[in-house]
């Protein structure tokens, strides 16, 4: 191969994510794979399998022309035998594809993918934290083990990406990486459909037979413990004592659905809470909401919150992870402490008590704060610049 041909070959990037379940990491990695497949970069997405209780976002990859390679053993749960098989398959794929850059996403793929990249001699390694597992997930002993693993992996990683400045500070506080290595690069999403969603108003209210003047509060999330859904339902019960005609919708599904439905019966709010399951028509849902709520115990930079804000919907959220970098309190939303259903209820009540004009102003302020800052074009520019800087520093600007 002559020098001219080498210069025109794109830099090969392999992107690992544990699974394409419903959520921000799947959207993020699919969009990066699509829009970073250019004359300069050639991106390949490698992923594992989702568990039966999770929503599958393979349709989103298909819609964007992304065909991921599947390693069945790479998944959510820690299973050492399957994880070793996944590591071997990842190593073999890297030796076959010979990428110049490996970029890993999420904890499991981040651990196995970076180890495989190191063993395969990949020149440049990048990892993105989409949140973290250092509190509210595991026992103290397991958490200490994962912290030590991440500290070792950081030595092998050329750049560590967090989704917000607050998350960057948090990761550094755990002694993972160094200030020059850890940098904040926000999500990039296709936000135009949310910005323009108000013209879709009415569909969800008609579907649920909810009048236009009835307060409608929504939460979009996977039904898993880290999302704090029982705090949301307890808050809903408190709000209904003062606003008995309010209605609440939950869009999403997961392992806790049956437990949460039982809780609505126990709280005697079954007639005011609607479980919609996994939905693809999120712009239509946001269009009809008077308020969007996030009740999570731990987050990176929540996609649902960005989408809600882009739609011009006022938001009430727990102050976790990078949420504080999204919301200016009382201006673009309301922040409340996590694990506190009464504080969440107060935030919801205060937001619903605002005049229609004040709520519109809050929604527009929220929209301006996320669009175009978190639009996909901004992300692609930032990631491409990061890659170029690493390639220059490592002297690896030609294909591996």
Chain length of the chain? 400
> Residues 139, 224: one domain?
no
Is residue 169 a part of any domain in this protein? yes
From the number of C-beta atoms within 10 Å of its C-beta (0-12, 13-18, 19+), residue 107 rates as buried
Q: How many C-alpha atoms does 345 have within 13 Å on its Cβ side?
A: 17
> Residues 103, 198: one domain?
no
List the domain range (segments joined by +) for residue 254: 192-370
> Residues 116, 248: one domain?
no
pLDDT in tens, 283-329: 999 999 999 999 999 888 899 999 999 999 999 999 998 899 999 99
Is residue 400 a part of any domain in this protein? no
Using alpha carbons, select from 255, 275, 254, 278 the residue that is nearest to residue 265: 275
Q: Provide the percentage of residues in the chain whose pLDDT is more than 90.
A: 82
pLDDT in tens, 135-147: 555 677 877 888 8
Q: For residue 302, what are the CA distances in angstroms to 28, 118, 311, 354?
A: 11, 30, 15, 25
> Residues 264, 302: one domain?
yes
165-174: average pLDDT: 92
| Residue for token pair 């929604």 | 363
> Residues 175, 164: one domain?
yes
> Residues 172, 254: one domain?
no
DSSP state of 198: G
> Residues 233, 165: one domain?
no
Number of domains comprising the chain: 2
Is residue 399 a part of any domain in this protein? no
> Residues 166, 52: one domain?
yes
* Model confidence, pTM: 0.85
Q: Distance between CA 127 and CA 137 in Å, rounded? A: 20
Structure tokens at 74: 């790479």
> Residues 309, 182: one domain?
no
**The domain spanning residue 310 has which CATH number?**
3.40.50.2000
Q: Provide the percentage of residues in the chain whose pLDDT is more than 70.
A: 95
pLDDT in tens, 206-223: 999 999 999 999 999 999
């Amino acid at each position: 191969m002559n020098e001219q041909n080498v210069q025109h070959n794109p830099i090969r990037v392999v992107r690992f994510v544990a699974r394409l379940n419903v959520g921000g990491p799947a959207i993020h990695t699919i969009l990066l794979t699509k829009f970073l497949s250019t004359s300069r970069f050639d991106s390949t997405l490698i992923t594992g399998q989702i568990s039966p209780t999770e929503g599958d976002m393979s349709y989103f990859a298909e819609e964007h022309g992304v065909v991921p390679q599947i390693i069945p053993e790479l998944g959510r749960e820690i299973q050492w035998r399957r994880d070793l098989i996944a590591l071997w398959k990842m190593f073999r794929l890297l030796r076959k594809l010979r990428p110049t850059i490996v970029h890993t996403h999420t904890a499991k793929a981040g651990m196995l993918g970076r180890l495989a990249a190191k063993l395969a001699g990949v020149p440049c390694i990048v990892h993105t934290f989409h949140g973290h597992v250092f509190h509210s997930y595991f026992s103290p002993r397991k958490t200490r083990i994962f912290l030590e693993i991440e500290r070792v992996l950081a030595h092998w990683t050329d750049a560590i990406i967090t989704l917000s400045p607050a998350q960057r500070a948090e990761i550094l506080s755990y002694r993972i990486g160094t200030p020059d290595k850890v940098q904040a690069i926000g999500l990039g999403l296709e936000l135009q459909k949310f910005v323009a969603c108000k013209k879709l108003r009415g569909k969800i209210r008609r579907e649920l037979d909810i009048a236009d003047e009835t307060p409608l509060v929504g939460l979009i999330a996977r039904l898993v413990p880290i999302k704090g859904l029982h705090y949301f339902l307890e808050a809903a019960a408190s709000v209904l004592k003062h606003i008995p005609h309010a209605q609440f919708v939950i869009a999403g599904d997961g392992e806790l659905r049956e437990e949460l439905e039982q809780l609505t019966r126990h709280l005697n709010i079954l007639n005011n809470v609607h479980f919609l399951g996994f939905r693809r028509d999120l712009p239509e849902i946001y269009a009809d909401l008077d308020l969007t709520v996030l009740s999570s115990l731990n987050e990176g930079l929540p996609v649902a919150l960005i989408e809600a804000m882009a739609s011009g919907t006022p938001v009430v959220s727990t102050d976790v992870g990078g949420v504080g970098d999204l919301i200016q309190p009382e201006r673009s939303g309301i922040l409340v402490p996590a694990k506190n259903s009464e504080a969440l209820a107060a935030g919801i009540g205060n937001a619903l008590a605002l005049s229609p004009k004040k709520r519109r102003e809050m929604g527009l302020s929220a929209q301006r704060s996320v669009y175009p800052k978190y639009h996909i074009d901004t992300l692609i520019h930032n990631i491409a610049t990061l890659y170029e800087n690493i390639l220059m520093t490592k002297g690896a600007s030609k294909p591996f």
